[in-house]
Amino acid sequence: MKPYLLYEYGNASQPYSFARTVKKALKNARETIALCINANADEIYFTSGGTESDNWAIKGVAIGDSLKRGIITSEFEHHAVLNSCKALERLEYPVEYLKPNKDGFVEPQSLKEVIDNPALVSIMYANNEIGTIQPIKELCEITHEHNALFHTDAVQAIGHVPIDVKLLNVDMLSASGHKFNAPKGIGFLYVKENVNLYPYIDGGSQERYLRAGTENVASIVGMATALKKNCDCVETNSKRLLKLENDLLSELKRANIDFIRNGNGNRLSGSVSLSFKGYQGEMLLHRLDLMGICVSTGSACDSQNTQISHVLKSINLDPEYAKGTIRVSFGVKSNPDDGFSIAKALVKILSKS
Ligand code: PLP
């Protein structure tokens, strides 16, 4: 990223020769990202992150849908999707919310039961609190049988599980750089060719007139490099993270701690939502923080809201457990003994209070 911050700071949209290297860097980054998800380079649109990508996919479809066919999504989407849908509802655009099952999955049958003639179905690839990986291919197939578009918020999944947009056949996919070790404030939206999406940010001709604004070249280059790095070692990383979470869980069980691990089935490795009956997640967060361990309660993107998260409500978790929920996210910088250390810290707190 450094050269694009220090020396190669030409504006990629200008025709002067100073922009040549920068233009090339943008082209390479687009191609690298496309290769990582088996897309074509001109199906990748750079955005400011996951929130913008989600807003664009959802509102972009609705703006172009004069018949108000509506959107189907799920109750446990990220607020970038949920609040985009709420904004549309305020404009009297119809939205329907599917309830996931208690294990944390949107069942294809539940979509079959309600789908009639929507413009869009939007279901996240992996849930950001409980890590459950949704049956995207099947949900997408059902959607296409009803002539609707399918969008997936893959912010938590991309770079952590192999994703092939052609195999999945999704029409749009949102991604955010900071979830795969790239800088914050950069992301992209994959839009399948022939999908006629309305622009969300109007202005200049950048991103083929669909997303205006001078490109954040350094961050885009960083995002492409980080995504390739992650995709090249998805399996090794995933095994490493699984070992860390198993250490954490086995140590808690060994100490006879009463807890629930939320989400049951196909999950992202390294993302662990734990609920402890009769405790407050906030208290656990602060006690762990004093011991040098940073975890989140419910959703990290919603730390101002200390009530039970909408995700835990949607899977009907017993409120006595739900209030005492923390989320541990292991990542590339986690040490091999972190699973055990976090478990030991938790046992210490839980056996004292
Ligand atoms: N979607 C999901 C599933 C997320 O987890 C997040 C952030 O945590 C977002 C969207 C928002 O992404 P960003 O922070 O890049 O705007």
Q: Which two tokens stand for residue 151?
A: 């969008």
**Confidence at residue 14, expressed as pLDDT on a 0 to 100 scale:** 85
Alpha helices for 255-299 (secondary structure H): 281-290
| Span 161-212, pLDDT tens digits | 999 999 999 999 999 999 999 999 999 999 999 999 999 899 999 999 999 9
Q: Which amino acid is at 125?
A: Y
**Residue found by looking up tokens 């200008």 in the block:** 14
CB 92 within 8 A of CB 70: no
Quickly count: other Cβ atoms within 10 Å of residue 136's Cβ.
22
Task: Report which protein residue has its CA nearest ligand 1's atom 9.
Answer: 50
Confirm or reject: Cβ of 263 under 6 Å from ligand 1: no
- CA distance linking residue 188 with residue 56, whole number of Å: 11
Report strand pairing: 95-98 vs 44-47.
Answer: unpaired
Look at residue 132 and give its three-state secondary structure. strand
**Confidence at residue 15, expressed as pLDDT on a 0 to 100 scale:** 85
Q: Which two tokens stand for residue 89?
A: 């509802």
Confirm or reject: Cβ of 124 under 6 Å from ligand 1: yes
**Confidence at residue 305, expressed as pLDDT on a 0 to 100 scale:** 52
Confirm or reject: Cβ of 160 under 6 Å from ligand 1: no
pTM of structure: 0.96
Ligand 1 mean position to 212 CA, how many Å? Answer: 21
- CA distance linking residue 284 with residue 293, whole number of Å: 10
Q: Which amino acid is at 39?
A: A
Task: Report which protein residue has its CA nearest ligand 1's atom 8.
Answer: 301
Distance, first Cα to last Cα, the chain? 47
Look at residue 306 and give its three-state secondary structure. coil
Confirm or reject: Cβ of 78 under 6 Å from ligand 1: yes
**Confidence at residue 301, expressed as pLDDT on a 0 to 100 scale:** 43
Task: Report which protein residue has its CA nearest ligand 1's atom 13.
Answer: 50
Confirm or reject: Cβ of 176 under 6 Å from ligand 1: yes
Confirm or reject: Cβ of 82 under 6 Å from ligand 1: no
Task: Report which protein residue has its CA nearest ligand 1's atom 12.
Answer: 50
**Confidence at residue 66, expressed as pLDDT on a 0 to 100 scale:** 95
H or E stretch at 341: helix 338-352
Ligand 1 mean position to 79 CA, how many Å? Answer: 8
Low-confidence ranges of the chain (pLDDT < 50): 299-303
DSSP 8-class letter at 100: P
Q: Which residue, 314, 315, 279, is CA-closest to 297?
A: 279
Quickly count: other Cβ atoms within 10 Å of residue 57's Cβ.
29
Bridge partners, residue 187, by sequence: 47, 176
- Alpha-carbon Rg of the chain, whole angstroms? 21
Query: Is 301 known to be catalytic?
Result: yes
CB 327 within 8 A of CB 272: yes
Ligand 1 mean position to 125 CA, how many Å? Answer: 12
Ligand 1 mean position to 179 CA, how many Å? Answer: 8
